[in-house]
Amino acid sequence: MRSDVTLTEDDEGKNVVNADGDTVGRVTSVEHGKAHVDPDPGLADTIRSKLGWGDADEDNYQLDASSIESVSDNEIRLRR
């Protein structure tokens, strides 16, 4: 279990991929180190999150740091 992952607003707009490399969502916002992920972002949501205008809403899911394998410049990869 990883506890050293710290998410910031810089991670907003990144794709979230599973261990097999399949995109499962996009980070719409990061609040208090917790990412909020839209599992099916539309074009408008994608643009808003890339611009840092994302909001957490009822369609988003909170991503816990213990579920994250790694964070790169373009994506957040989930643990298997």
- Domain of 64, CATH number, reads 2.30.30
Q: Average pLDDT for residues 13-41, to the nearest whole number?
A: 88
In a domain, 16, yes or no: yes
In a domain, 54, yes or no: yes
Tally of CA atoms within 13 A in the half-sphere of 9 that contains its CB: 6
In a domain, 64, yes or no: yes
Q: What pLDDT is recorded for position 38?
A: 86
pTM here is 0.75
**Per-residue pLDDT tens digits for 30-76:** 988 889 998 876 655 655 555 555 555 567 888 888 889 999 999 99
Residue 34 belongs to what domain range?
9-78
Q: How many domains are contained in the chain?
A: 1
**Per-residue pLDDT at 2 exceeds 50:** no
For residue 48, give the DSSP letter: H
In a domain, 28, yes or no: yes
In a domain, 43, yes or no: yes
Q: What pLDDT is recorded for position 5?
A: 84
